[in-house]
Each structure stands twice: as C-alpha cells, then as structure tokens.
Amino acid sequence: MNVKKYLANNIQEAMVKVKSELGSEAFILSSKKVKPKKGLLSVFMKPLIEVIAAVDELPREKQQKELEKNRIANEREEKVNRLEAKVVDMEKNLYQLYEKVDRTPIAPSIEVEEKTTYFDTFLNNLIENDVDISLSKRIISDAKLKCKSPDNMTEVASTIYSTIAGLIGSPNPIQLNDSKTPKVAVFVGPTGVGKTTTLAKLAGHFALMQGKKVALLTTDTYRISAVDQLRTYADIMGIPVSIIYSPDDVNATLEFYSDKDLILVDTAGRSHKDKTQFEEITTILNKFTNPDVFLVLSSVTNLRTIKEIAQSYSFLEKSRLVITKTDESATPAMVLNSRLMIDMPLAYITNGQSVPDDIEIANTDKIIKNLMGSIANEGSSREIKTID
C-alpha cells in the first residue's frame, strides 16, 4: 500500500492532488483541518485541509517494471514450452528408432583393443636389456616388414634374430698379410678402456698360440705405468717392445721390425671431448701405410657417452670396434648400441683380465642370444667361435 499526506486550502483541492498522483483508485484514510505554520501572519490565515490518502496498486514506474518482468516471464515460458515440445518429438523419434533397432538382428561384437603381440614382447625385452629405445623400435619395425607369420613365435624370433644379425654384420678381426710386409694394427680410444691389456691379449694369441712373429709399439709416453705394463707383458711372452717418442720415429721402427708378421701399436688414451688431441692420433696414423685401426671402448660406457664418442671419432675411416670389459657390464646391450651408433664393424670382445685368454672374435650369435634370451635359440643354431 502506498500512503501519502497532502495539504490544501479545501477538500476539493486536496482530492485533485490525490487523484493526479495516486490515481482514481486512491482512497482517503483521514482528513482534518490544521493551522498554518507558525509565523507573524499565521493568525490571520484560514485553516488548511490535511488529507492522508492511500492506494493498493504500485506507483507507475514500479508498475511498468512489474509489467516488463511479467512480459519476460511469459516469453521464457513460451520458449520452455517450445523446447519441451521438441524434446517430446525427439523422444518419439528415439522410441521409433529403438523399435526398429530392437527388431534388427544383432551383429557379432568387434574387439577394438589391440592384443599384445610377440613383437611387443621382444621389443620390451630389448628395451629392458638397455638397448637404445630408438634402435629397439627400428629393429622391431624392420622385422615386422620381413616376418611372414607374425602369430608364430618361432617365426617372429627367427625374423628378429636375422634382422639384428644383418645390422651387426660379420666380425672383422685382424687378417695377416700373405706378403712379407708386416701387418700393422693401431689401437685408439678413451682413457681407461683397456687398450694396453687388449694388445697384450692379441699378442699372446698370435705369438704363443699361432706361432707368429709379433712386435709391440707404444706412443703413450704420457704414462710411465702404461709403458711398464706393456714391457711386463712383452717380457713374459718374449716379444720385443719399442717406444715411439715422436712421429718421426715411426719409419725407422717399422724398418727395424720389417721381419715381423704383426706389429701392434698402443696409443695414449684421449678424452673424446678434447678435439685438439685428435690431431696427434691423425699424425701418428698417417705415418703408417694402410694400418688396421681399432677403436677400443669399454662395455660400461653409458649411452650418452657412446653418442659423443661416435661424433668425436668420426674422422677414423675404415676402423673397427673392440668392446672390452663385458664381464663388468650389467647388460649385454652396449655391444649392439656401440655397433649401430658408431657404425664400425665389430672385431673383438674381451670379457676379463686374464692375458691372453679373455678375448674372442665378436660373435653375432652370442650377442643376439644375450639380448633376446633363450627364445633366440629358435632363430639360429650357429656355433660360438673363439679367437683361436
């Protein structure tokens, strides 16, 4: 209810004010005469009429707002009704479709989940054995293209075996010359990989087991212990040893040992991160005519270092790999990782400190079986060959 008070000179004037503001629906609550406000002239003035009026309806502005509110509500209700009608139509259509499908014969269900294959099993096996992930995927991908019976485990194993064997290739050990000129084999590689011990093992095999005339050379004048170690091995086996103090000594030393069948050359270990030291290796190698060059790596080398070595020693042409200390490695993967990352043929594998016993020509069959497990036996029946 809207209540207001009005002052007028008479009742007619008051009613005009009430109707003009509150409308014709307004009604009078009370009316009375009141004296004008106090003042000097108030005593001479006529009494005024005070009217209190009220109306049940809202004022015009509020009424308009209420009408707008009602209009919006009506529009919303119409939209809801239309939406409900659409829903009803959709339900009707779905029901009709359901009835149609319900009468249609049910087709056999199709399995969308891929089953684990034998290739997946061997892939996991390679990765768990620390074969580089990208190399493992490459091997399995190549094998899938070749395999004719992917549901046959023996066929899958045989295909993976042949794929790895193809990547490894045949071993490339030292082959002595038929001519009277001695074969020269130079061994290079990082510090601490076992170059000196490897030379001693090979010297023992060729001299003691094959009766060849062998001489040892060393350019490692940086470590006295390396020279002493080589001399100790040479004295035990009765093999001569000489020190190359500068590249200019090479020709005279080769002339001195011209009657030998094999000359094994030890070099100082060089960090694969020091590029300037590779100039010394290049200078020494250039002093020999068509030498066999062997890059010696330790089996405990990590993947990151193998990749760095591959880049650092990329200047070596027609070189071969010798992998040492395989008995100290937790997994057999380093041999395969090194072979494929450095892209040099394998020559020898060493598996202990015993001289001259703990060395053998790299054997593809043995390497693969160590990687794949006993199931690889289904892939090949090759025999493991030793150096002798």
Residues 195, 288 within the same domain: yes
Does the residue 370 lie in any domain? no
- Give the tokens for residue 83: 């939406």
Residue 384: per-residue pLDDT: 36
Which tokens sit at 120? 């997946």
Euclidean distance between CA atoms 216 and 238, whole angstroms: 11
Q: Do 47 and 73 fall within a single domain?
A: no
Q: What is the DSSP letter of 178?
A: S
Q: What is the pLDDT of residues 369-388, one digit of tens each?
A: 887 764 455 444 443 344 54
**Structure tokens that stand for 163 in this block:** 């794929």
Q: What is the CATH number of the domain that holds 229?
A: 3.40.50.300
Tokens coding 224: 């006295």
Higher-pLDDT residue of 89 and 356 is 356
Window from 150-154, 245-249, 312-316 with minimum mean pLDDT: 312-316
Pairing outcome for strands 48-55 and 2-8: antiparallel
Torsion angle of C-alpha atoms 229, 206, 280, 218, degrees rounded to 10: 30
The predicted pLDDT at position 348 comes to 93
What pLDDT score was predicted for residue 114? Answer: 57
Same structural domain, 355 and 266: yes
Q: Is 12 inside a domain boundary?
A: yes
Instruction: Tell me what the mean pLDDT of segment 214-239 comes to.
Output: 83
Residues 6+ apart with CB under 8 A from 275: 312
Residues 358 and 262 in one domain: yes
Q: Do 180 and 147 form a contact (C-beta atoms < 8 A)?
A: no
Cα gap 111→114, rounded to integer Å: 8
C-alpha to C-alpha distance for 309 and 322, rounded to whole angstroms: 14
Residue 63 CB burial class (10 angstroms; 0-12, 13-18, ≥19): exposed
196 and 342 part of one domain: yes
**105 cis-preceded (ω within 30 degrees of 0):** no
Instruction: Examine the domain organization and report whether 295 and 220 are in the same domain.
Output: yes
Residue 307 covered by a domain: yes
Cβ atoms within 10 Å, residue 304? 8
Residue 383: what pLDDT? 39
User: Average of pLDDT values for 65-92?
Assistant: 68
Helix 333-342 × helix 133-146 angle, to 10°:
80
Are 349 and 362 in contact by the 8 Å Cβ rule? The answer is: yes
Average pLDDT of every residue of the chain: 79
Tell me whether residue 231 is in a domain.
Answer: yes
d(CA 211, CA 261): 10
Q: Do 238 and 347 belong together in one domain?
A: yes
- Reported as a single tens digit per residue, the pLDDT across 19-49 is 888 777 777 767 788 777 655 555 566 788 8
Please tell me whether residues 132 and 193 are part of one structural domain.
no
Structural domains in the chain (count): 4
Same domain for 162 and 30?
no
Q: How many residues does the chain have?
A: 388
Asked whether residue 42 is assigned to any structural domain, the reply reads yes
Which residues fall within 8 angstroms of residue 364, CB to CB, at 6 or more apart?
Answer: 165, 168, 169, 170, 171, 382
Residue 178 lies in a domain: no
CA-based nearest residue to 336, from 183, 198, 132, 63:
132
Q: In terms of residue numbers, what domain contains 139?
A: 118-168
Listed in sequence order, the residues at least 6 apart from 207 whose beta carbon sits closer than 8 Å to its beta carbon are: 213, 214, 237, 238, 239
342 & 195 share domain? yes
Q: Are residues 246 and 149 in the same domain?
A: no
Q: Is residue 127 part of a domain?
A: yes
Residues ≥6 apart with Cβ < 8 Å to 371 = 125, 126, 129, 131, 164, 332, 333, 336
For residues 240 and 314, membership in a common domain is answered with: yes
Contact 384, 365 (CB under 8 A): yes
Tokens of 69: 């509110």
Beta bridge partners of 34: 48
Question: Is it the case that residue 177 has pLDDT exceeding 60?
Answer: yes
Interval 281-297: pLDDT, tens = 888 888 888 899 999 99
CB 325 within 8 A of CB 300: yes
In a domain, 77, yes or no: yes
